[in-house]
Amino acid sequence: MKISRMHIVTQAVLLITGLAMLFPFFWMIATSFKTGREVFSLSLIPQNPTMENYQELFTNSNFPLWFLNSVLCGFIVTLSTLFFDSLVGYTFAKYRFRGKKLIFILILSTMMIPTEMLVIPWFIMSNDLGWANTYWGIIFPGMMSGFGTFLMRQFFDSVPNDLIDAGRIDGLNEFDIWRRICMPLVKPALSALAIFTFVGNWNAFLWPLIVINDIYKYTLPVGLSFFNGEFQTEWEMVMTGASVATIPVLIIYLIFQKQIIKGIALTGIKG
């Protein structure tokens, strides 16, 4: 009896905090249904709800293209990161070779340099290689990450060596051992890495801005900044764009969320 009362109180408190937490989010969505003049009014519910912003967004701007570009780049970067980071993480967790410690520390240290400092050399490089103003140009700097490598190494650490040796006895080559035996065991970790990578890439702004020249090749964050004009910002459009932009990330989250919980618990993360 006592427990269930506690339970009700907890539920109530969580519900209220949750709604409060979501208030700015609701506001964003509400604004997307407001007209330009009503944007600054105080009411959460628009007086004259309108779909105009959505129509404008999908018909009168390059938004559908920006959206598609972001999804494509997001997918490729995420896939590539999952593949390489898990391969590299696995190598550091399960092999002994010369220079291991040094290479690992060097890769880790790449987490600590702000992107802002790297974009100019990347851009010079892209121009030399003919990658400027291409999708490949947007994608290539994010193909691998120190964060993912670190995360995956932690996970592979907990995979028992016996399994690997068993694979070797069965005559599998090293690549197949990684792919067929070890990878399935860290699926939860891959899910976690997938969502972190996708979210991070989804919000990237500076690099796509610099590497792309054609308005129809931009990704979402850069595209949305077109509504932020010289003399005024079309807030209703920014909010509409941001609301739509939340959907893919939410889908990714919903697909992977259960795995994430399992994933992170499985590591027993080592300090």
Partner 1 sequence: MKKERRILVMLLVLLGMCLSLFAGGKGEEETVDDGVTEIVYWQYFYETKKNLIDELIKEFEAANPDIRVIHQTFPYENYNTKVASSVPTGEGPNVINLYYGWLPMYMDAGYLQPLPEDAFPPEEIEAEYFPLVEAGKFDGKYYALPTAVRSLALFYNKDLFREAGLDPDSPPETMEEALEMAKKLTKTDKAGNYLQEGWGLQLNGQIHHWLREILVRQFGGQPYSDDGRTVTYNSQAGYDALKYATDFQLVHHVGMPNFMTDDVTAFKAGTLAMNIDGSFRLGTLDEIEELDYGVADIPTLNGVASNFASYWANGITSTTTGKELEASVKFLQFLLSDDVQARWLEAIGELPAKKDIALRPEFVNDPKYGPFIRGLENAHATMFVDETGQRQVWLDAWDQVVLNGMSVEDALNQAAETEQAILDRYYEGK
Partner 2 sequence: MRKQRTLSRSRELWAYAFLAVPIVFYVVVRFYPSIFAFYLSLTDWDIVSRDKGFVGFENYARLFSDSVFRKTLFNTIRYVVVGLPASMFLGFVLAYNINKLTFGSSLYKTVFFMPYITSMVAVAWVWRWLYQPPPVGVFNNILVAIGLPSQQFLRSIGQAWISILVTTVWADLGFQMIILLAGLKGIPDEYYEAARIDGAGNMQILRKITLPLLKPTAIFLLISGTIRYLRIFTQVMNMTSQGDGGPLNSTKPLVLYIYDTAFKSFEMGYSAAMTVVLFFIILVITLIQMRVTRSEDQ
Q: Using CB under 8 A, which residues numbered 87 to 106 contact partner 2? A: 87-88, 90-91, 95-98, 100, 103, 106
| Residue 16 engages partner 2 in binding (rule: CB under 8 A) | no
Q: Which of residues 115-154 bind partner 2 (CB under 8 A)?
A: 116-118, 120-122, 125, 140-141, 143-144, 146-147
Residue 135 touches which of partner 2, partner 1, none (Cβ within 5-8 Å per kind):
partner 1
Neighbour-count burial of 223, counting CB atoms closer than 10 A to its CB (0-12 exposed, 13-18 middle, 19+ buried)? buried
Element at 73 (helix H, strand E): helix 63-94
Q: What share of the chain is helix, strand, coil (3-state, %, to 5)?
A: 75, 0, 25
| Residue 265 engages partner 2 in binding (rule: CB under 8 A) | yes
**Binds partner 1 by CB under 8 A, chosen from 35, 134, 158, 259:** 134
CB-wise, 76 or 152, nearer to partner 1? 76
| Residue 37 engages partner 1 in binding (rule: CB under 8 A) | yes
CB-wise, 133 or 248, nearer to partner 2? 248
Sole window of 123-131, 150-158, 174-182, 243-251 interacting with partner 1 (rule: CB under 8 A):
123-131
String of b and e for 70-80 (b: at least 16 CB within 10 Å)?
A: beebbebbbeb
CB-wise, 6 or 251, nearer to partner 1? 251
Paired strand residues for 228: 233
Nearest distance in Å: CB 22, partner 1: 23
